[in-house]
Every structure is written in C-alpha cells, then in structure tokens.
Amino acid sequence: MRTPPPAAAAMPTAKPQRPASVQAPAAAAGQGAAGLTQPAWSGEIRGLRDELHALRQWVQSTVSSGAQAAGPVSSPMAERLQELGFSPSCAQALAVPGAKLPDALGAYLQRLDMPADPVAADGVYALVGPTGVGKTTTIAKLAARLVLRHGTSAVALITTDTYRIGGVEQLKIYGRILGVPVAVARDAKELEQHLQEFSDRRFVLIDTIGLSPRDARLAEQMQWLQGFGSRITRLLLINAGMGLGFYDELWKMYQHLPVAACILTKLDETPVFGAALQWLVEQRLALCFYTDGQRVPEDLHVPTLAKIVELLHDDTTAYHASPPAGHEPARANPGF
C-alpha cells in the first residue's frame, strides 16, 4: 500500500507581509498615535494659517498707529469751531480745556490786524477780487463813507470793468447819487490819464474787472495794476462763505500785486466764515472792512475784535434759526 501524503495542516505556511506604505509608524519621530502619516497638503494649511495670523497682527498695528496719529477725539468746542469753518487742526489748537468759545475766538483773532481807521490816508485805492464778490457795491459804500467824511470834492471813481453788462452804468448811477465823477479806463494808458485828471482829488477809487482766474483778460489787468507800483493801494475782496482751498487758489492770482488789506463781503449770506478769518491770520493780511448787505453805505463796517467774535459766536444759532423772509428783525445802522 502506498503511504498517504502529510496532512495539509502540517504543511508550513508563509506569514503575509503588510505593505510598507501602511506599516505602523508608531516608532517614527513626529508621528501621531493613530499610526497614519499627515496628508501632503497639511503643510500648506499651516502656512496659510500663519500668513493670516501675521496679516491680522499687521492690520491691528496699523489701525492702532493711525488712531494715535489722529490725536484725541474732538471736544465739543473743537467740533463747534469746525462748524464755524476753522480747519480741524486749528479747531483742536483753539479748543483749550476749560475755556469758553468767545474767549478762544478772541485769543486767536488777536493775531488778525484790524485797523481802527482804514482808508484814512489820501491816495488811490483799487478794489480787486473775483467776479460776484461785490466790488461795485462795495466801492459805492466806500465812496459814500468818504463823501460823508470829506465832501464830494474829495472823491472820484474809475472803473475798468468794461466787460460786464451794466457794470459801467451801475457805477455811474452811484456816482450821480453821490455827486462824484466817474471815468472809464479801457487800458493802462487811459487809467494813467484819469489818474492825472483826478490828481486834485484826495481819494480815487478804482473798480476793477471780475473774471475767472483762467481768463486772459484778468491777467492783463493784473499787469496794469502791477505796473503802477506803490501809486495804487490794492484791497482784495473775498467772499466770507468760502473754504480754505478756495482762498489759497484765489491768492495765487492776487498775491503778486501786492495786496495791502482785505475786505470780507457777504457776511449776511453765511454764518460760517471761520475759514476766511483763519486764512487772513495765516497770510498775515489785514482786515479793513466787512459788508453784510446791499445798503449804501450802511452795510459797510469797520471790524473790531469784539464785533467779529460776536458775529461768529451768535451766528451759529442766529442764521440756522433765521425767521421767514419778510420777518427779519430790524438792525440799527452803525453810522460812521
């Protein structure tokens, strides 16, 4: 008989091997307890997280430094001063803790030169300024003031505003009412002739053209006035309700004349004229008159520190709560 083969259980079997890629890495450095390697994109996640953290720190630092540079939060007085037209930096400087608004305004405006008796010296005065600022009406007010003081024989008027429709006629009407002569100058030669003609007059007032700063005719007339040198005193008229940027641009046109002093016009049309006063202080320009209406000569005034402070302080409520048209309270004429 043949001997049977060994049983299958007795035969040696090979132990299966685990793939290297899934062998337990517990002993490997930096491996987790789960025994699995980190995904390949996990490093990108950590990098992105670090970048976001750094960006957040940078934003926080920038916002913090910006707040420090901006300075302290505005006080109620500083906000009030900005409402009056003063720049934020100027308002912050004027808002002294514990001081009242009139006191702060008074301390600042002491730096503004306001002659007690402007246009007192004999001479030739030219009123210059942009269109619409009120030169013709203001020259009539000034002429009336001088006539009341010195008589009709002391005053003469010249206009170079031959471009505006009705400009010459308007000044001639004022001249007839005041009893003073009015001449028209179309160029520098005619202006010289009229100055010679009125050489016996104590005060000669020149009404100049008002045009856009970009108009070539305005530049031409500026050359006329510059050519007369110190023979003519130039008074620059500025609208009270404009901003610092407007005055800076305007000054580029007129600073070469040069300008002796300024007249602030149209105070009746705005309660906010702190910017004009700040600009005058910064440019060291004198304020010789201000106007607040169309009446001749009542609405031309010599400024004083107390009066300007009063106008600024009171107008914050007076103009914002103005009565209906036709019901305005009567104002006393200041006289001369």
Q: Computed over its alpha carbons, how large is the radius of gyration of the chain?
A: 40
| Strands laid side by side in the 123-128 sheet | 182-184, 155-159, 203-207, 123-128, 232-239, 261-265, 286-291, 300-301
Count of Cβ atoms closer than 10 Å to residue 297 Cβ: 22
pLDDT digits (tens, 9 = 90+) for 144-197: 999 999 999 999 999 988 777 677 888 999 999 999 999 999 889 999 999 999
pLDDT, tens digit, for every residue of 294-322? 899 899 999 999 999 999 877 544 433 33
Can you give the CATH number for the domain in which 265 is found?
3.40.50.300
**Residue 326's pLDDT is what?**
35
What integer pLDDT is reported at residue 256 of this predicted model? 85
Residue at 83 is within a domain = no
Q: Residue 317: what pLDDT? A: 40
Q: Is residue 258 in a domain?
A: yes
Q: Does the pLDDT of residue 59 top 80, yes or no?
A: no
Any domain includes 40: no
pLDDT of residue 44 exceeding 50: yes
In a domain, 129, yes or no: yes
Could you tell me if residue 37 is inside a domain? no
**pTM of the prediction?**
0.71
Q: How far apart are the first and last CA of the chain?
A: 158
Looking at this protein, which amino acid is placed at residue 65? S
Give the domain range for residue 237.
Answer: 109-318
The rounded distance, in Å, linking the Cα atoms of 317 and 322 is 8
Total domain count, the chain = 1
| pLDDT value for 323 | 36
Q: Cβ distance 294 to 276 under 8 Å?
A: no
* Rounded percentage of the chain residues whose pLDDT exceeds 90: 51
**Do 276 and 251 contact (CB within 8 A), yes or no?**
no
Q: Is 136 a member of any domain?
A: yes
Coil vs helix vs strand at 18:
coil
Give the DSSP H or E segment for 128: strand 123-128
Residue 300, H or E segment: strand 300-301
Establish if 122 belongs to a structural domain: yes
- 20 within domain boundaries: no
